[in-house]
């Protein structure tokens, strides 16, 4: 009987089978889930967790732990079983029994904000492996700052066929290979099966060759042979490149009929098959029962890193107090004291010397100050650095093997960039800000959505934010993107009107620690409309009265970004006709809509006519102007022409605004 065996005689198979049966039982109880991957990958995961992974289950957020990322999030029960067996607090057997139930710590796919020990939310295939690149990069960058004593760990990924088929995987592995992120080790669950059936239905890529071509080591092993797994990981740890270990496995390992077929992928095994699997695995215990000796052996594995963690904590303690405090501040994501003051000073300077510049340039001006005040801010661009204005003079770019820098040339990889940014932020120690054109948020959006869902404070610097970019034409002119981003829960979208609002937007984005922010910035120059500096951040309510009416307001014009200038000019035109109008600047429509009703009512005011001006689609503005409000903006895609001609062509002009207001008034 296995449960009479003493802890030190527990075998690898006992340990791996414990993972398998917990996954099988939990999926069976939930009546849904994916047993195949945990059953197939249990050997690989068991070797990793018991022999290599540097972690201490009693402190799953220890900064120098190895990271384990289950990229194939559908196999979540693999991770929950491991967290439970190693003794992560909160991941109890009852949580496993409540797999996929409301409010459990065991949701269908892993969520880092739900479950201790889960490093990142995964589920959309490809995201995990791409996020892991950010983890591995942040580790090297922090290592370059703080040295081996404080930062010296690996990033392990368990990826499935689907992860490697997704396009994002290519952006991710190309970047990791180029940067020589040798602390990144991908264990590929090479089972040749996906949902529709054998992979041969749709794929014939030689993944080993693909990874090698991207600058990786890549080897093939038997993923059920613990010795082979151990040898491969040990070798990978010594490599100067990232490593792919293609682990040949059988999906649903142990299941008599379903093993090796897509039937094991995503549904409970069923009573008969489950019983057959347990028999085949030599497992004779009741559901969710783990014999004490196996439980003890797993618990021992969970404590394996305790000594290392304590030694690390001692080294941290031995640091000079200021260095230690700074490391702890950054590791815990607390923003530096000086940020608000630095922004206030910058605003005062802008009041003294107004800057009529594009907001992308205003962003660069702000970054000159912010990068000094916020040493953890890491900038980058997907090959549009000179257009995005993200590289300030004081930033050095990292390069392969040299990670002492705060600028990342992500290459033309918007999706990979956004996912890597998630990893950089989740790793800790850094706030990532990455840039491209606003229209290409479509390419980055799946990772931006993960950031929003998982509460990751990444910052997207999205320039060329409207038809105002001009000649590049409609492929490059976003029209629906502001609305699309504003509709994403927990995403904050800023579209500042001038240099001062841009500084305020940066401050609000950086002060936010529970979710991502997008800064939509112009290509074209704008006048500085604000003349007030100081500590108060007027953009913090999302909207504010920028220019009061000359008398009792008969209309309010709401505008964002480059159209604030148009709103002010329209106000002047109407004023000349003794028609009093106020202008409300709306640097963040979504932030404004999140304000308490009283605040919104005060800012919206009671002028009978409401107008919104934004060079984008109307979607979302009705919440401010109502369905009968006047909207001056885009009603379709843009066109290729100098931007001033486009504004005239699409009727987004002060004259058009004034004319519509008067026409409505005279109805
Ligand atoms: C982006 C994305 N597309 C589709 C899915 C739905 N889906 C979940 S698992 C899977 C493929 C399963 O094959 P594989 O990755 O080999 O996993 P295994 O069958 O080995 O568990 C698909 C298409 C998803 N989770 N993410």
Q: In what order do the strands lie in the sheet with 544-547?
A: 544-547, 581-585, 555-559, 609-614, 630-633
> How many angstroms separate the alpha carbon of residue 9 from the centre of ligand 1?
37
pLDDT 10s digits, 593-603? 999 999 999 99
Do residues 571 and 547 touch, judged by C-beta distance below 8 A? yes
Do residues 518 and 378 touch, judged by C-beta distance below 8 A? no
| Catalytic position from the list 414, 501, 504, 565 | 414
> How many angstroms separate the alpha carbon of residue 165 from the centre of ligand 1?
10
**Position 2 confidence tier, pLDDT thresholds 50, 70, 90:** very low
Distance CA 394, CA 285 (A): 63
- Please name which of 359, 609, 615 lies closest in space to residue 462, comparing C-alpha atoms: 359
| pLDDT over 90 (residue 403) | yes
Q: What local confidence, expressed as pLDDT, does residue 9 receive?
A: 86
Considering the chain, what is the average pLDDT of its residues?
97
- Torsion angles phi and psi, residue 265, rounded to 5: -70, -60
**Domains, the chain, ordered by start:** 12-308 (3.40.50.970), 337-527 (3.40.50.970), 544-666 (3.40.50.920)
- Please name which of 71, 74, 84, 75 lies closest in space to residue 18, comparing C-alpha atoms: 84
Q: Is 161 helix (H, G, I), strand (E, B) or coil?
A: helix
Distance CA 629, CA 271 (A): 61
β-pair type (184-190, 243-248)? parallel
Angle (nearest 5°) at CA 48 between 109 and 115: 30
| pLDDT over 80 (residue 7) | no
Pocket residues: Cβ below 6 A from ligand 1: 34, 36-37, 72, 74-75, 123-125, 160-162, 166, 189, 191, 193-195, 251, 265
Do residues 189 and 72 touch, judged by C-beta distance below 8 A? yes
Q: Is 91 helix (H, G, I), strand (E, B) or coil?
A: coil
> How many angstroms separate the alpha carbon of residue 218 from the centre of ligand 1?
22
**Position 4 confidence tier, pLDDT thresholds 50, 70, 90:** very low
Q: Three-state SS across 535-568?
A: CCCHHHHCCEEEECCCCCCCEEEEECCCHHHHHH
Q: What local confidence, expressed as pLDDT, does residue 667 receive?
A: 83
Residue 28 token pair? 């069976």
Q: Is 335 helix (H, G, I), strand (E, B) or coil?
A: coil
Distance CA 442, CA 446 (A): 8
> How many angstroms separate the alpha carbon of residue 529 from the centre of ligand 1?
51
Residue 6 token pair? 């003493």
> How many angstroms separate the alpha carbon of residue 314 from the centre of ligand 1?
43
161 labelled as ligand-binding? Answer: yes
| pLDDT over 80 (residue 94) | yes
Q: What local confidence, expressed as pLDDT, does residue 254 receive?
A: 98
Candidate from 76, 162, 164, 269 with most ligand 1 atoms within 8 A of CB, to mutate: 162
Do residues 526 and 615 touch, judged by C-beta distance below 8 A? no
pLDDT 10s digits, 416-468? 999 999 999 999 999 999 999 999 999 999 999 999 999 999 999 999 999 99
Distance CA 72, CA 79 (A): 10
Task: State whether the Cα torsion 552-556-561-563 is positive or negative.
Answer: negative
pLDDT 10s digits, 523-545? 999 999 999 988 999 999 999 99
Residue 217 token pair? 């080591």
**Position 154 confidence tier, pLDDT thresholds 50, 70, 90:** very high
Residue 310 token pair? 């304590």
Candidate from 194, 199, 261, 453 with most ligand 1 atoms within 8 A of CB, to mutate: 194
Angle (nearest 5°) at CA 230 between 226 and 231: 120
**What 8-state DSSP symbol labels residue 147?**
-
- CA nearest ligand 1 atom 25, residue: 124
pLDDT 10s digits, 166-212? 999 999 999 999 999 999 999 999 999 999 999 999 999 999 999 99
Distance CA 521, CA 12 (A): 56
Could you give the percent of the chain with pLDDT greater than 70?
99
Candidate from 39, 74, 167, 188 with most ligand 1 atoms within 8 A of CB, to mutate: 74
74 labelled as ligand-binding? Answer: yes
pLDDT 10s digits, 346-371? 999 999 999 999 999 999 999 999 99
Ligand 1 atom closest to Cα of residue 126: 1
Distance CA 174, CA 189 (A): 20
Task: State whether the Cα torsion 99-100-105-106 is positive or negative.
Answer: positive
Residue 207 token pair? 């993944």
Distance CA 383, CA 423 (A): 20
Residue 216 token pair? 């990786």
pLDDT 10s digits, 61-87? 999 999 999 999 999 999 999 999 999
Tokens 């260095």, residue?
323
329 labelled as ligand-binding? Answer: no
- The DSSP annotation for 463-511 comes to E--SGGG-TT-TTT--SSHHHHHHTSTT-EEE--SSHHHHHHHHHHHHH
Mark whether 171 is an active-site residue. no
Tokens 């030694």, residue?
311
- CA nearest ligand 1 atom 9, residue: 74
Straight-line distance from the first to the last Cα atom of the chain, in angstroms, rounded to the nearest whole number: 90
- CA nearest ligand 1 atom 8, residue: 74
- Please name which of 506, 514, 492, 510 lies closest in space to residue 590, comparing C-alpha atoms: 492
Burial class (CB within 10 angstroms; exposed 0-12, middle 13-18, buried 19+) of 572: middle
387 labelled as ligand-binding? Answer: yes
440 labelled as ligand-binding? Answer: yes
Q: Three-state SS across 574-639?
A: HHHCCCCEEEEECCCHHHHHCCCHHHHHHHHCCCCEEEEEECCCCCCCHHHHCCCCEEEECCCCCC
> How many angstroms separate the alpha carbon of residue 74 from the centre of ligand 1?
7
**Position 8 confidence tier, pLDDT thresholds 50, 70, 90:** low
Tokens 């919440």, residue?
623
Q: Residue 591's Cα: distance from chain center in Å?
A: 20
pLDDT 10s digits, 546-568? 999 999 999 999 999 999 999 99
94 labelled as ligand-binding? Answer: no
Ligand 1 atom closest to Cα of residue 199: 16
């Amino acid at each position: 009987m296995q449960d009479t065996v003493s802890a030190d005689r527990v075998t690898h198979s006992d340990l791996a089978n414990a993972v398998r049966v917990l996954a099988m039982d939990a999926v069976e109880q939930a009546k849904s889930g994916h047993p195949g991957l945990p059953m197939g990958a249990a050997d690989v995961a068991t070797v990793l967790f018991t022999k290599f992974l540097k972690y201490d289950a009693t402190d799953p957020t220890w900064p120098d732990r190895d990271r384990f990322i289950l990229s194939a999030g559908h196999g979540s029960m693999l991770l929950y079983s491991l967290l439970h067996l190693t003794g992560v607090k909160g991941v109890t057997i009852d949580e496993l029994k409540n797999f996929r139930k409301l409010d459990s710590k065991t949701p269908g796919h892993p969520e880092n904000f739900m479950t201790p020990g889960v490093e990142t939310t995964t589920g959309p295939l490809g995201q995990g492996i791409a996020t892991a690149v950010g983890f591995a990069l942040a580790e090297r960058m922090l290592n370059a700052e703080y040295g081996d004593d404080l930062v010296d760990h690996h990033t392990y990924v368990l990826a499935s066929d689907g992860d490697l088929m997704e396009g994002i995987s290519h952006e991710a592995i190309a970047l990791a290979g180029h940067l020589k992120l040798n602390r990144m080790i991908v264990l590929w669950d090479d089972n040749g099966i996906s949902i529709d059936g054998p992979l041969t239905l749709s794929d014939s890529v030689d993944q080993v060759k693909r990874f090698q071509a991207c600058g990786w080591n890549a080897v093939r092993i038997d993923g059920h042979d613990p010795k082979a797994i151990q040898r491969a990981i040990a070798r990978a740890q010594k490599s100067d490149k990232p490593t792919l270990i293609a682990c040949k496995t059988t999906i649903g390992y142990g299941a008599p009929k379903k093993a090796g077929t897509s039937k094991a992928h995503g549904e409970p095994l069923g009573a008969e098959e489950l019983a057959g699997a347990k028999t085949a695995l030599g497992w004779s215990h009741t559901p969710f029962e783990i014999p004490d000796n196996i439980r003890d052996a797993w618990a021992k594995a969970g404590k394996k890193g305790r000594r290392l963690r304590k030694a690390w904590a001692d080294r941290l303690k031995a640091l000079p107090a200021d260095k230690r405090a700074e490391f702890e501040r950054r590791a815990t994501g607390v923003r530096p004291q000086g940020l608000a003051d630095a922004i206030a000073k910058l605003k005062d300077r802008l009041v003294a010397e107004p800057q009529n510049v594009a907001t992308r340039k205003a962003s660069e001006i702000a970054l000159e100050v912010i990068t000094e005040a916020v040493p953890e801010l890491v900038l980058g661009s997907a090959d549009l650095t000179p257009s995005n204005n993200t590289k300030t003079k004081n930033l050095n770019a990292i390069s392969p093997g040299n990670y002492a820098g705060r600028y990342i040339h992500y290459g033309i990889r918007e999706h990979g960039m956004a996912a890597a940014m998630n990893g950089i932020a989740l790793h800790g120690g850094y706030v990532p800000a990455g840039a491209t054109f606003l229209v290409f948020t479509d390419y980055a959006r799946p990772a931006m959505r993960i950031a929003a869902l998982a509460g990751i404070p990444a910052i997207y610097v999205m320039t060329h934010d409207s038809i105002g970019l001009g000649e590049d034409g409609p492929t490059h002119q976003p029209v629906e993107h502001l609305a699309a981003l504003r509709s994403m829960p927990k995403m904050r979208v800023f579209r500042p009107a001038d240099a001062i609002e841009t500084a305020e937007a940066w401050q609000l984005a950086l002060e936010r620690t529970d979710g991502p922010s997008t800064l939509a910035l112009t290509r074209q120059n704008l006048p500085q409309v604000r003349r007030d500096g100081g500590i108060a951040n007027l953009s913090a309510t999302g909207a504010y009265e920028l220019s009061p009416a000359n008398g009792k307001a008969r209309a309010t014009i709401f505008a964002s970004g480059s159209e604030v200038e148009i709103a002010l000019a329209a106000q002047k035109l109407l004023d000349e006709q003794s028609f009093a109008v106020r202008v409300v600047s709306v640097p963040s429509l979504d932030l404004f809509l999140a304000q308490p009703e009283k605040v919104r009512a005060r800012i919206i005011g009671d002028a009978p006519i409401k107008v919104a001006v934004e060079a984008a689609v109307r979607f979302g503005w009705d919440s401010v102007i109502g369905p009968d409000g006047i909207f001056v903006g885009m009603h379709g895609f843009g066109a290729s022409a100098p931007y001033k001609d486009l504004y005239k062509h699409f009727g987004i002009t002060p004259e058009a605004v004034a004319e519509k207001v008067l026409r409505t008034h005279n109805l």
